[in-house]
A = this chain, B = another copy of it.
Amino acid sequence: MAEQQLPPVVARMWGRENSPRHGPRPSLDLAGIVAAAIRIADRDGLEGVTMGSVANQVGVATMSLYRYVGSKDELLIIMADAATPEPPSIDGRPWRDYLTDWTRANRDFLLDRPWVLALGQHTPPAGPRALRWLDRALAALADTGLDHGARINIATTLTGYATRQAALAHALNGAAGRGAADQIGGLTGYGEILGQVLDPDRYPELTAAVRANAFGAEPEWVDDADFTFGLDLLLDGIETLIARGRG
């Protein structure tokens, strides 16, 4: 009975549609459609993903897709989860080692598939893959004495960090993009743009930062050293918290 009140998207992500199954066998399945859509997104970005292009890729009429997904929005949500890899495995490592790896893998996956970034994180994790990541982070923190709420919070904060970092790196490196957003980051040099536009009276600190070349000509300020820097900030905070709980 409870099954019935699952939101349709969630039900579909977990293969829980009630499928009556008589009459002609379906010539497709959701997984095939989603895989095709992911292939298109990997090749052409998110704006290449069209109900038409997906149907075409799968060899079917556009309207047939509506037998398998409620709407394009639904398809996008399901795609984002299906495109997420498995989290790294723990192998008995201490929590700090593992979560460093976990967060970096999270960022790397988003750099590989930047279109997942564009899909936004407006949805609490609800797909099988997203929840695996959450589960693994909780497992890594199992022996720290932190309660479930704190552990969930930490995992959330770390994904947030990975997401932000990936978005920034992508924006600054992404000379490839066609959209208006991509004009800002690309080859032109972010620091130079700021230098041209800032009034030193209203933006004194930023002006100083630009003059100190804090935004190098190359987008080095979002490279791996910076990633580690911010991550260690977070992990130090977590370590403090654990010590406090024990002390």
| Chain A interface residues (CB < 8 Å from chain B) | 2-3, 5-10, 14, 16, 70-71, 73-74, 77, 117-118, 120-124, 126, 131-132, 134-136, 138-139, 142, 147-154, 156-157, 159-161, 163-165, 167-168, 170-172, 179-181, 183-185, 188, 190, 192-194, 196-198, 202-206, 208-209, 212, 214-215, 221, 226, 229-230, 232-238, 240-241
Collect the chain B residues with CB atoms within 8 Å of residue A230's CB: 153-154, 156-157
- With most chain B CB atoms within 10 A of its CB, the pick from A152, A163, A202, A206 is A206
Report the bound CA distance from A221 to B149 in whole Å. 7
Query: For the complex, would chain A's binding face be called helix, strand, loop or mixed by DSSP majority?
Result: helix
Report the bound CA distance from A135 to B150 in whole Å. 32
Pull 24 A–B residue pairs with CB atoms less than 8 Å apart, ordered by A.
A2-B192, A3-B196, A6-B196, A7-B188, A7-B193, A14-B197, A77-B181, A120-B167, A123-B181, A124-B172, A126-B193, A131-B206, A139-B205, A147-B214, A148-B212, A151-B209, A152-B215, A153-B226, A157-B233, A232-B237, A234-B234, A236-B240, A236-B241, A240-B240
